[in-house]
Amino acid sequence: MTDKFHIQEIAPEEIPEPRRPEPSKMVIFGASGDLTSRKLIPALYSLHLKGRLPRGFTIVGSSRTAYSHEEFRREMRQAVEEFGDDPVITSKWAPFAEGLFYSPGNIKNAEDYEKLDGFLRGLSDEGENADNRLYYLAVAPQFYADAVTNLGAAGMTAENDGWRRIVVEKPFGHDLASAQALNSTIHQSFGENQIYRIDHYLGKETVQNIMVFRFANAIFEPLWNRNYIDHVQITVAESVGIGERGGYYDTAGVLRDMFQNHLLQLLTLTAMEPPIAFEATALRDEKVKVLRALRPIGVADTAERTVRGQYVAGQVMGEKVRGYRDETDIGPNSQTATYAALKLHIDNWRWQGVPFYLRSGKQLATKTTQIMIQFKCAPHLMFSSPAGEGLPPNLLGICIQPDEGMHLRFETKVPGAGMTLRSVDMEFHHRPTFGEDALPSAYERLLLDALQGDQSLFARSDEIELAWSLVDSIHAGWETDAAPELDFYEPGGWGPDTARHFIGQDGRRWREVCGH
């Protein structure tokens, strides 16, 4: 039986409410798209139900689709009913819908921005709604430059009569050069303090809890270094294939799709030094220091420090699964990696000599995101153990999803004669402790932060560019004769055999389920 911490129940009324943002309005470019329907409007409606939106808050959708205000409201209600976590109650929906408006426009047409600006200024006269604006680019990346350039040209970025902020979705560029070019374009219209580059992983409660776990608990931080930690594993596994994203994925691959953003963000939070305060500049400074300390992976290093794989056709739970090269819009000889494993080193005082193993892939055994900390073994074993076996290491598992929580594995004595040892777990799970509805969607947190002007959980330009530098160097190596061979793997497992050999040659193994 698993041992568990005794967790004190916390009543909802004991959880303090965050401050409410000041009056403002939000413009969603790409309002007829999936992101708006599946994520943004359901998250905003949930914030409305919790009383966390600004007073007099209005949301203006904009896209080429010809909606009236009422048609847009009906579409958004249907979206919340289909994709939202909260039931749509007419008495609750009505005041939210009153703040939903629609202004049709072509993101490439400068004249449409002038019309939008006039519409927004007209809304400023209603009630206590000030002319603070949050622009959200829920459009394809190729339209980002058009949107910010036209906003700037229309005078819609100047903060003369209220603040102006812009949220940019990932992917932020497809390599270092394109990321730098996009940063340059955006900076011509917006200051860095106005830009919110969003990565929904940072909005997850369990990701934010990494910082609380490390810096609010004195029992762990003294051990968080090369003296006590043997190595760190970060896994983002997906149990599905690429779906209908073949056109995008075959030009991106797993490194651009997952490592440049999600995995490196988790790495920085795990490895960074304590910031002087939980505020944007201090926090992002420490994350950037980690990225600057990453040992480069040159062309000659890729075979030794990276693994790449691609899933083939197979069966999962009796169901046939197509191979990657059989997916829509994928060529028969595609060399795109759907799985990768990296061995990274952070060359600083805290982490010198501690390897960080990162892996991610499609069509794996289960969907999970986790960070595993393996501590060094005790220096001397005074207890008996089976022949050829040493003392198992202590493990700390931080489970980001889907079973949000933490697992601490340590050794204890089995009751009875002798000194027989057994590994046991102490566990903490978010949902049983705080309630089934206690974990808001990542977009709820990030939208609220953007409205409040808190950039702590958003990436800075130098952070983006440093991450791309690492990914670009690996891709450069993969395109040469020094590249590791593309290893094929069947769906429903844990990736190619080379990944096991990759970590096994260091005398270590992958921890494939959080806490195990």
pLDDT of residue 4: 47
243 CB neighbour count, 10 Å cutoff: 10
Residue 18 pLDDT grade (very low, low, confident, very high; cuts 50, 70, 90): low
pLDDT class of 516 with cuts at 50, 70, 90:
low
Structure tokens that stand for 22 in this block: 């000041």
Q: Which residue has the higher pLDDT, 486 or 381?
A: 486
Rounded Cα distance, 232 and 376, in Å:
11
DSSP string, 89-155: -HHHHHHHHTTEEE----TT-HHHHHHHHHHHHHHTTSTT--S-EEEEE-S-GGGHHHHHHHHHHTT
Which candidate, 452, 397, 92, places its Cα nearest to that of 279?
452
What are the C-alpha distances in Å from 294 to residues 369, 466, 502?
22, 10, 19
Active site amino acids: 262
Q: What rounded mean pLDDT belongs to the chain?
A: 90
Average pLDDT of span 471-498: 95
Residue owning tokens 């100047």: 158
493 pLDDT above the threshold of 50:
yes
The per-residue pLDDT for 384 is 64
User: What's the first-to-final CA gap in the chain, in angstroms?
Assistant: 14
The model's confidence at residue 415, banded by pLDDT at 50, 70 and 90, is confident
Question: What pLDDT score does 403 carry?
Answer: 81
DSSP code of residue 514:
T
pLDDT tens digits, one per residue of 30-64: 999 999 999 999 999 999 999 999 988 999 999 99
β-pair partners for 409: 395, 425
What does pTM read for this prediction?
0.91
> Using one digit for the tens of pLDDT, what is the confidence trace for 174-217?
999 999 999 999 999 999 999 999 988 888 888 888 998 899 99
Q: β-strand 195-197 against 405-413: which pairing, if any? A: unpaired
pLDDT at 423: 79
CATH of domain 18-169: 3.40.50.720
Sheet architecture: strand order including 339-345: 421-429, 405-413, 395-401, 368-375, 229-237, 355-361, 339-345, 306-311, 487-489
Averaged pLDDT, 262-271 = 95
Identify whether the C-beta of residue 400 lies closer than 8 Å to the C-beta of residue 369.
yes
Per-domain boundaries in the chain:
18-169, 223-273+295-381+394-410+429-443+460-504
119-173 pLDDT tens trace: 999 886 544 546 899 999 999 999 999 999 999 999 999 998 899 999 999 889 9
Per cent of the chain over pLDDT 70 is 92
Q: Does domain 223-273+295-381+394-410+429-443+460-504 have CATH number 3.30.360.10?
A: yes
Phi-psi region of 153 (alpha: psi -120 to 50; beta: other; left: phi over 0): alpha
Please state which of the ranges 11-25, 70-84, 300-314 shows the lowest mean pLDDT. 11-25
Q: Is the pLDDT of residue 13 over 70?
A: no
Q: Which of the two residues, 320 and 391, has the higher pLDDT score?
A: 320
Query: Which tokens in the block code for residue 124?
Result: 């400023």
Mean pLDDT to the nearest integer, 302-307: 96
Would the pLDDT of 5 be above 90?
no
Place of tokens 């060529």: 331
The predicted structure's pLDDT at residue 278: 87
Rg of the chain on CA atoms, in Å: 25
At 340-389, the pLDDT tens digits run 999 999 999 999 999 999 999 999 999 999 999 999 988 777 766 655 56
pLDDT tops 70 at residue 515: no
Residue 9 scores a pLDDT above 80 = no
> Which one is predicted more confidently, 366 or 410?
366
Arithmetic mean of pLDDT, 229-235: 97
pLDDT for 514 equals 66
pLDDT of residue 389: 64
For residue 17, what pLDDT band results from cuts at 50, 70 and 90? low
